[in-house]
Amino acid sequence: MRTTSLALGLLWTAAASAWAPSASFGRRHHRPSASTSMSASSGDSIEFAKYEGLGNDFILIDDRSRADPSLTPEQSERLCNRNFCIGADGVIFALAPPEGDDAYDFTMRIYNSDGSEPEMCGNGIRCLAQFLKDLGEDTESYRINTLAGPIVPVMNADGTVTVDMGEPILKGADVPTTLEPNAESDSVVEQTLECNGKEWKVSAVSMGNPHAIIFVDDLEADIDFASDGPALEADPAFPAKTNVEFVQVMSPTHLKMKVWERGAGPTLACGTGTCALVVAAIRAGKIPRPEAEGVEGRVRVTLPGGDLFIEWRESNNRVYMSGPATLSFSGKAMIK
């Protein structure tokens, strides 16, 4: 195992397969204590593990004995800098469940690479589940408390993770968006929005965080990604800002997308966005809703980092996401 020290205070172990949890790991429940309530200070070091889900990469911090993250948003933002530190799309904290609440095994919090805090992250929660398994919390599923509500990732025999993402939120005001509702349940389906000097047809869906979905004929020719993405993210029609998904329909069971993530910009994958766009595609009549359930009912979504498989189950209205989560490396970083 090779260890390298960088001038900026980052220590990392390049051999991911050599990483192993310490002897203290493996407890099913971890309750916070008052002695762990303070955040790390400049000059302190913190152990981390780096995971990625289809190239959407995260720094994972073991805070299972804490109620709150051990890093501030500003510290997390610095760790995410790809030139001066570890580099990532966000920092995820594996925290104790809410005090006295036996409905959860753990809590997930995440800070984006710009220091903002989203409600949830689909790729991130798959990485969190794999992280917990690697820490010795080896079980079939985890009950995770998130700012978007309870989420349950399930570990599959093939090494992938399936996540019950819950029911989509369709009411426009709850996404939230100020776009005029034009479909059932006061929802927004391909509503007109003028932004960045162009007219768009926008569908609004929340998976605990807001998404603006736009269908195009050609992902390469029909958008100026670097310009349209940030403009739509910050458009006043989305008062909490929004994730933006541009989608091309490849077949009735295959969609292709590019994502501009709120607070992170262009990423290789977005789990909640993938779920939202499948719901939007079905509601807009772009693809039929599969009649089967399970593997046969999945829609394949191709992202820049690879494929995710999404099922919007008609029997319970819940969305299920399946995809990989992989350890890249682990190490120790100095807080600056």
Q: Is the pLDDT of residue 19 over 70?
A: no
What is the model's pLDDT at position 38? 66
Query: 103-159: per-residue pLDDT in tens?
Result: 999 999 999 999 999 999 999 999 999 999 999 998 999 999 999 999 999 999 999
pLDDT band at 5 (very low <50, low <70, confident <90, very high): very low
Q: Is the pLDDT of residue 22 over 90?
A: no
What is the model's pLDDT at position 37? 56
Domain boundaries, the chain: 46-155, 172-318
CA–CA dist 174, 34 (Å, integer):
36
Q: Is the pLDDT of residue 199 over 60?
A: yes
Query: Residue range 178-206: average pLDDT?
Result: 98
233 DSSP 8-state letter: H
Query: Residue range 189-203: average pLDDT?
Result: 98
Beta strands in the chain, from DSSP E residues, in sequence order: 3-5, 10-13, 45-53, 56-63, 90-95, 106-112, 144-146, 149-155, 161-166, 188-195, 198-206, 210-215, 243-251, 254-261, 265-267, 299-303, 306-312, 319-323, 326-334
Per annotation, catalytic residue among 80, 85, 121, 127? 121
Asked if 299 contacts 313 with a C-beta cutoff of 8 angstroms, the reply is: no
In Å, what is the CA distance from 328 to each residue of 55, 187, 190?
10, 40, 39
What is the model's pLDDT at position 219? 97
pLDDT band at 7 (very low <50, low <70, confident <90, very high): very low
Query: Residue range 183-207: average pLDDT?
Result: 98
The reply to whether 46-155 and 172-318 are identical in fold is yes
pLDDT band at 295 (very low <50, low <70, confident <90, very high): confident
In the numeric block, the tokens 């933002």 are attached to 77
The C-alpha R_g of the chain, in whole angstroms, comes to 20
What is the model's pLDDT at position 41? 82
Query: 53-87: per-residue pLDDT in tens?
Result: 999 999 999 999 999 999 999 999 999 999 999 99
In our burial notation (b when 16+ CB lie closer than 10 A, e otherwise), range 113-129 reads bebbebbbbbbbbbbbb
Q: Is the pLDDT of residue 23 over 80?
A: no
Per annotation, catalytic residue among 80, 127, 270, 275? 270
- DSSP sequence for 60-116: EEEETT-SS-SS-HHHHHHHT-TTTSS--SEEEEEEPPPTT-TT-SEEEEEEETTS-
Query: Residue range 262-282: average pLDDT?
Result: 96
What is the model's pLDDT at position 221? 96
Whether 195 is a known active-site residue: answer no
What is the model's pLDDT at position 259? 97
Q: Which CATH superfamily is domain 172-318 in?
A: Diaminopimelate Epimerase; Chain A, domain 1 (3.10.310.10)
Q: Is the pLDDT of residue 178 over 90?
A: yes
CA–CA dist 2, 312 (Å, integer):
45
Class of domain 46-155 (CATH, top level): alpha beta
Q: Report the sign of the C-alpha dihedral through residues 23, 29, 33, 36, in that order.
A: positive
Whether 80 is a known active-site residue: answer no
- Angle at the Cα of 176 from the Cα atoms of 172 and 178, rounded to 5 degrees: 65
What is the model's pLDDT at position 275? 97
Q: Is the pLDDT of residue 310 over 60?
A: yes
Query: 42-60: per-residue pLDDT in tens?
Result: 788 999 999 999 999 999 9
- pTM across the whole model: 0.84
Q: Is the pLDDT of residue 14 over 80?
A: no
